[in-house]
Amino acid sequence: MNVNQLPDNPYLLLTPGPLSTSKKVKAAMLRDWCTWDQDYNQLVQSIRSRLVTMASSKPEDYTTVLMQGSGTFSVESVIGSVIPRNGKLLVLTNGAYGKRMAEMAEILGIYSIVLDSGETKPVNTKQLEEVLKVDSSITHVAVVHVETTTGMMNPVADVTRIAKAYGKTVIVDAMSSFGGIPIDMAALDIDYLISSANKCIQGVPGFGFIIARKEALSTCKGIARSLSLDLYDQWETMELGNGKWRYTSPTHTVRAFDQALQELEEEGGIASRYERFKTNQQTLVAGMERMGLKTLLPVELQSPIITSFLYPDSPVFSFDEFYSRMKQEGFVIYPGKITAASTFRIGNIGDVHLADMERLLAGMEKQLFWKTT
């Protein structure tokens, strides 16, 4: 079909997902698929193997499991399926998504320890080492790569190095970074990495995926605390059924994801996409700073995915007002999520390019209502 016939989005989403996708990704959804037919199963298998190759320089040691639901469902399938009954999880937190993993452990009745570093500091690797030194009952360590709450990039390589020195299994929530920031699970020695269809890969929402070290996942049979989120069982079905899912699979979303992966490959892979996101983010911050708006985090902690900005110091500023004015300009921005300061966020992932950032800044220049009293 001629994708130019598809309607334009009324505004660009500058959010951490779901985000603006290409017309070809949307057009890929315009047919139905039989989940039992090998055409569809081959599509699933191709996606699984391409994800493994993107995530690891030793793809033969890793496998991918696709899981229905939003990204949180995939995180919960890992937390609930890989920690044995007598295991213990240490969660490093500095925002909502780290906290969510700790909450899952609590609800699922998994022994856990939380090390929180506060929203504006990276996770504390020194404290991690101190705890691992004295508590040998810990079996697993979990951390968020880019804490989307603030846009903070956590020191995953340091976390993994320390955790591995003590023989722990490492779980990384790379929801908002995988596909947009290069990460080599084999080099970093990560056991489980979780992401979803609708973030840096630029697909539409509907499923998440878990890239797992085969050796680790193969020990997880029968320990899940949930039927539908049983990671091992889902893996076994996909392996034995050559691309079959347990229960209804989100067929249209999966087909759109295949197109999104193709577009990532055409762009030049993760390294090129990372450069685009970095350019977007740096252009955004430079322009905002020219208008007197300041970032929450110092540049060395900032990811190229999403940026938190402090509210301008003015009694007439209101986020709601700013939001609706920016929406009129054609851009949807994002509220803040932290308690320590009043912030809003602007994402720069998705089908978003330098020209869009320049348009955003030009549009914003006209909407600095708090400056004109």
Ligand X SMILES: *Cc1c(COP(=O)(O)O)cnc(C)c1O
User: Which residues of this protein are in contact with ligand X, per CB under 6 A?
Assistant: 16-17, 70-72, 75, 97, 144, 148, 173, 175-176, 196
Euclidean distance between CA atoms 336 and 125, whole angstroms: 26
Inter-CA distances, 110 with 82, 105, 218, Å? 11, 5, 20
276 is in an annotated binding site: no
Q: Which is nearer to ligand X, 91 or 132 (CB)?
A: 91
Instruction: Determine the distance from the C-alpha atom of residue 132 to the mean position of all C-alpha atoms in its chain, rounded to a whole number.
Output: 27
Q: Which is nearer to ligand X, 118 or 268 (CB)?
A: 118
Report the nearest approach of ligand X to the CB of residue 149 (Å): 8
Q: Which is nearer to ligand X, 132 or 170 (CB)?
A: 170
Please identify which residue in the block is written with the tokens 């390589």.
157
Using a 10 angstrom Cβ sphere, with 0-12 exposed, 13-18 middle and 19 or more buried, the burial of residue 123 is: buried
Report the nearest approach of ligand X to the CB of residue 293 (Å): 23
Residue 127: CB atoms within 10 A of its CB come to 13
Alpha helices in the chain (DSSP H): 23-27, 38-55, 71-82, 96-107, 125-134, 156-165, 185-188, 214-217, 231-240, 251-267, 269-290, 319-329, 354-365
Closest among 145, 149, 112 to 131, alpha carbons compared:
112
Report the nearest approach of ligand X to the CB of residue 91 (Å): 13
Rounded to 10 deg, the angle between the 319-329 and 354-365 helix axes is 120
Report the nearest approach of ligand X to the CB of residue 318 (Å): 26
Report the nearest approach of ligand X to the CB of residue 179 (Å): 12
Report the nearest approach of ligand X to the CB of residue 256 (Å): 16
Inter-CA distances, 211 with 142, 151, 282, 300, Å? 14, 23, 30, 28
Report the nearest approach of ligand X to the CB of residue 223 (Å): 23
Q: Which is nearer to ligand X, 205 or 243 (CB)?
A: 205
Q: Which is nearer to ligand X, 16 or 243 (CB)?
A: 16
Report the nearest approach of ligand X to the CB of residue 123 (Å): 13
Using a 10 angstrom Cβ sphere, with 0-12 exposed, 13-18 middle and 19 or more buried, the burial of residue 306 is: buried
Q: What six digits make up the tokens of 325? A: 């004015």
Q: Which is nearer to ligand X, 212 or 364 (CB)?
A: 212
Q: Which is nearer to ligand X, 132 or 144 (CB)?
A: 144
Q: What single letter denotes the amino acid at residue 15? A: T
Q: Which is nearer to ligand X, 20 or 148 (CB)?
A: 148
The contacts of residue 351 (CB under 8 Å, 6+ apart) are 19, 20, 21, 22, 25, 202
Binding residue ranges for substrate: 345
Binding residue ranges: 345
